[in-house]
Structures are given as C-alpha cells and as structure tokens.
C-alpha cells in the first residue's frame, strides 16, 4: 500500500494568499493543483513536502480567453477544459492534438495545464507544445509578476525557473496570421508516456504563384533530450524557405541530428532519433496544411 508521508495542508483562498503561504513556508511547501504527478511522487517519497498549498479553490485561474492578439490560459485549467475549448483549437490545433493523447479522459478531468508544466517531466507533452507555439509564462511572486518565455521556463528535468515563493499563473500564446500547428506522439500503449513526440507551429507568408514560404516556425520535441524541448537548429533552417517537401525532409534530418535521446525501457536511442526525423516531417506537413486552410 502506497500512502504519502505525513504532511500539513493549507487551502489557498486567493493568489495573494497562496503567495503569502509560499513565502512563509519556503521550499518546505509544494503547490498542489491536480496532484496527478505530485501525489504519486509523494507516495514513492520522491517528493516529501512538509506543507501542501492546495490551489484547487482558485477557480479564477481556470480560463481560456482571447485578449487582443493573445490566447491566455489560466494555470489551473484542467486538461479536459483545454481539449474541449473551441477557442484553443481554432487558433492552436496543436493543443487539441496533444491533449487528446495526454494520459486518459479521467486523469485529464483533474490534472492541470500549469501543474504539468511545473512538473517539467521530460516526457510531458505540453512543454514541447507551448515551446513550439512560442508561448510566454506569467509567474507571480512576492515582488509582483514576471514573464518568461516557454523556451526558458525549464532549467532541466523536473526543474523550472519558478522559485519556491512563486506561482505560475498564466500561459500566453501569440496569435499571428498565417499560422497552423500540429502534434504527434508515438507511445507503446494508449495513454502512456511517449517514446517520442513532436509538435510544430508554422506561420506562412505568400511567396507568389500560389506558393508559400515559411515566415517562422516552432518545433517542440518531447522525451528525446532536446534542449528546452526545442529543435532550434531545424527552426532556423526553415525560416524563409519554401513550404515544400524537400524543405521539410531536411528539417526532419536536422532535428534528429541535434536531439539527444537515451536508450531506456521505451526504446533504443537510434529508434527515437528515427522517430524525431519522421515525426518532425509529419507535424510540419500537418501544420502547413492547417495554415493553408486544408483539412488534415
């Protein structure tokens, strides 16, 4: 039987209240959102906080809204809410692609977007998706709020820039014209962690004669040792090039060259590298089709 060790419990009634308690308890405290990573880790004593600060009552942090040219997602938004959001899917289909393959419908009911990001598991899907979309994280602390690029949010496996007295409150995604996005994951079983996964967001520009060039691209890679979950070299290669198959094939090769997968129980490194090459091409193809308004 697995049970967490003894722990104190506090229920936050507002963001300010949560921040005050985080300041009081310091690193001994952990924020409890959906708990679908934290509680299993507490059962295994991989995490042993002295105090849990439950933010599930902060329902004003559950939202998906558009504000000008930004899509804003509250940190306590449940995975199921993001999957059900027409607004999210309209602007960033990648989020629906990713959410559909995160865990299972029951886990998605309670697990949260912010919790997944702060857990920073190298196999977690949303980190790569938000990196591909070039999102920004809003972090509140004792001195006010700050914004950090999704690409600088993770400092290593299970580590983020969120300090012990800070709280991730919102994710902001820039809505730009000509955009399309997609996510693909290979897992051994339905609902399992990925062997490897890739996400892409592309922004097209008219190149004349019915053709398009890639104005900008974001590529996120999951579970394959990509720095900050990003295939930066492949993105750089794509910028300004024609949106054709030859370009995509080369981008896939570059992404595969620069990631650093490890051999583990989910598969050998060379297979994962092969997955990166193939998945990168496929998500770019799907993202470009969506940007052009073609169904995929």
Partner 1 sequence: MKLTLTVNGTEYARTIEPRLLLIHFLRDELGLTGSHWGCDTSNCGACVVWLDETPVKSCTVLAVMTDGRRVTTVEGLARGGVLDPVQDGFAACHGLQCGFCTPGMMMTARWLLDRTPDPTEAQVREAISGQICRCTGYENIVRSVLWAARRERDDEDA
Q: Where are the alpha helices (DSSP H) in the chain?
A: 15-25, 38-43, 79-84, 86-91, 93-100, 105-110, 113-119, 125-132, 232-238, 245-258, 269-291
Q: What is the dihedral of CA 86, 203, 279, 255, to 10 degrees?
A: -140
Distances (CA, A) of 113 to 39, 81, 198, 229: 16, 10, 18, 16
Establish if 103 lies at the interface with partner 1 (CB under 8 A). yes
Q: Which is nearer to partner 1, 5 or 249 (CB)?
A: 5
- The correct pick among 6, 67, 246, 265 for binding partner 1 (CB under 8 A) is 6
Q: Which is nearer to partner 1, 11 or 258 (CB)?
A: 11
How many residues bind partner 1 (CB under 8 A)? The answer is 30
Q: Which stretch binds partner 1 (CB under 8 A): 16-24, 30-38, 207-215, 241-249?
A: 30-38
- The correct pick among 9, 156, 210, 246 for binding partner 1 (CB under 8 A) is 9
- Lookup result for tokens 């393959």: 101
Site string for partner 1, 135-174 (x = CB under 8 A): ----------------------------------------
Residues 179-208 that bind partner 1 (CB under 8 A): 190-191
Q: Which is nearer to partner 1, 40 or 177 (CB)?
A: 40
Question: Are the C-beta atoms of 251 and 227 separated by less than 8 Å?
Answer: no
Task: Give min distance, CB of 181 to partner 1, in A.
Answer: 23
Cα–Cα dist 186/192, whole Å: 9
Query: Cβ–Cβ contacts within 10 Å for residue 136, how many?
Result: 20
Q: What is the dihedral of CA 167, 169, 174, 179, to 10 degrees?
A: 100
Question: Are the C-beta atoms of 233 and 290 separated by less than 8 Å?
Answer: no
Task: Give min distance, CB of 105 to partner 1, in A.
Answer: 6
Establish if 76 lies at the interface with partner 1 (CB under 8 A). no
Residues 36-75 that bind partner 1 (CB under 8 A): 36, 39-40, 42-43, 52, 54, 56
Q: Which is nearer to partner 1, 54 or 233 (CB)?
A: 54
Positions touching partner 1 (CB under 8 A) are 1-9, 11, 32, 35-36, 39-40, 42-43, 52, 54, 56, 80, 103-107, 109-110, 190-191
């Amino acid at each position: 039987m697995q049970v967490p060790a003894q722990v104190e419990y506090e229920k936050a009634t507002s963001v300010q209240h949560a921040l005050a308690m985080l300041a009081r308890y310091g690193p001994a405290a952990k924020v409890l959102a959906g708990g679908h990573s934290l509680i299993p880790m507490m059962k295994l004593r991989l995490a042993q906080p002295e105090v849990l600060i439950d933010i599930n009552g902060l329902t004003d942090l559950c939202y998906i809204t558009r504000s000008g040219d930004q899509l804003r997602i509250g940190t306590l938004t449940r995975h199921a809410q993001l999957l059900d959001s027409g607004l999210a899917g309209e602007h960033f289909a990648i989020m629906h692609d990713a959410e559909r393959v995160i865990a299972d419908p029951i886990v998605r009911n309670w697990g949260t977007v912010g919790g997944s990001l702060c857990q920073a598991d190298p196999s977690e899907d949303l980190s790569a998706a938000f990196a591909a979309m070039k999102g920004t994280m809003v972090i509140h602390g004792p001195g006010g709020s700050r914004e950090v690029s999704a690409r600088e949010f993770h400092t290593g496996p299970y580590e983020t820039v969120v300090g012990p007295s800070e709280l991730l409150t919102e994710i902001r995604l820039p809505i730009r014209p000509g955009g399309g996005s997609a996510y693909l994951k290979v897992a051994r079983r339905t609902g399992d962690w990925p062997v490897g996964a890739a996400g892409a967001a592309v922004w097209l520009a008219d190149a004349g004669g019915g053709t398009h060039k890639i104005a900008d691209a974001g590529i996120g890679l999951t579970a394959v040792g990509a720095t900050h979950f990003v295939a930066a070299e492949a993105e750089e290669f794509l910028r300004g090039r024609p949106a054709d198959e030859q370009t995509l094939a080369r981008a896939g090769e570059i992404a595969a060259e620069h990631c650093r997968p490890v051999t583990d129980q989910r598969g050998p490194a060379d297979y994962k590298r092969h997955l990166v090459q193939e998945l990168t091409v496929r998500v770019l193809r799907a993202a470009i089709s969506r940007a052009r308004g073609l169904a995929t």
